[in-house]
Amino acid sequence: MRHPSQLWKTALLISGLAIILCAEPQAWAQAKAEKVFTAIVTDAQGVETEVKNALFYWEEKVSETAFVPHEVKEVPVKRGAATVKVKFDTIKQIDVKPSPDGGLPTLSITLTNGKTGEFALAISGSFRGVSDFGDVELPASGLKKIVFK
């Protein structure tokens, strides 16, 4: 039979490992989810706004009176028949070209690795965040340029 002090040490060790194993994935996921993006957004009138905690936002209509809000850190674009979700952390700059027929704009995306591509915006949405003057929402169709810091 083990001495009571050895049992106590073993119990403490097991408890400590259990806490670390349970808490670590949650802490890692929370730290990853909390990455904040800041962008300088220029609207069609040439007005620049610094947007902190930038998100792409749209509402999905599920019935005549119900909508599901979506806030993501990516830009959904069309490439042929596919929808590509370009993550904010890979984007350096987006140049927005309005559609001549009033539809969704075309986005010229420059990645941080230097690659560029031209895509149609997949979903009518807006860029949301916080400016020095308060909460801000900028419809994607009314923008000229977005530069991520």
Model confidence over 47-68: pLDDT tens digits? 999 999 999 999 999 999 999 9
Same domain as 11, residue 75: no
For residue 11, the model assigns a pLDDT of: 53
Range(s) of the domain holding residue 90: 39-148
Same domain as 74, residue 28: no
The total domain count for the chain is 2
> Rounded to whole angstroms, what are the CA distances from 131 to 18, 42, 49?
42, 13, 7
Same domain as 87, residue 14: no
For residue 6, the model assigns a pLDDT of: 61
Same domain as 70, residue 141: yes
Same domain as 5, residue 70: no
Residues of the chain with pLDDT below 70 are 1-33
Distance of CA 76 to the CA centre of its chain: 11
Same domain as 67, residue 25: no
Same domain as 28, residue 60: no
| Other residues' Cβ atoms within 10 Å of the Cβ of residue 15 | 10
For residue 17, the model assigns a pLDDT of: 46
Same domain as 92, residue 109: yes
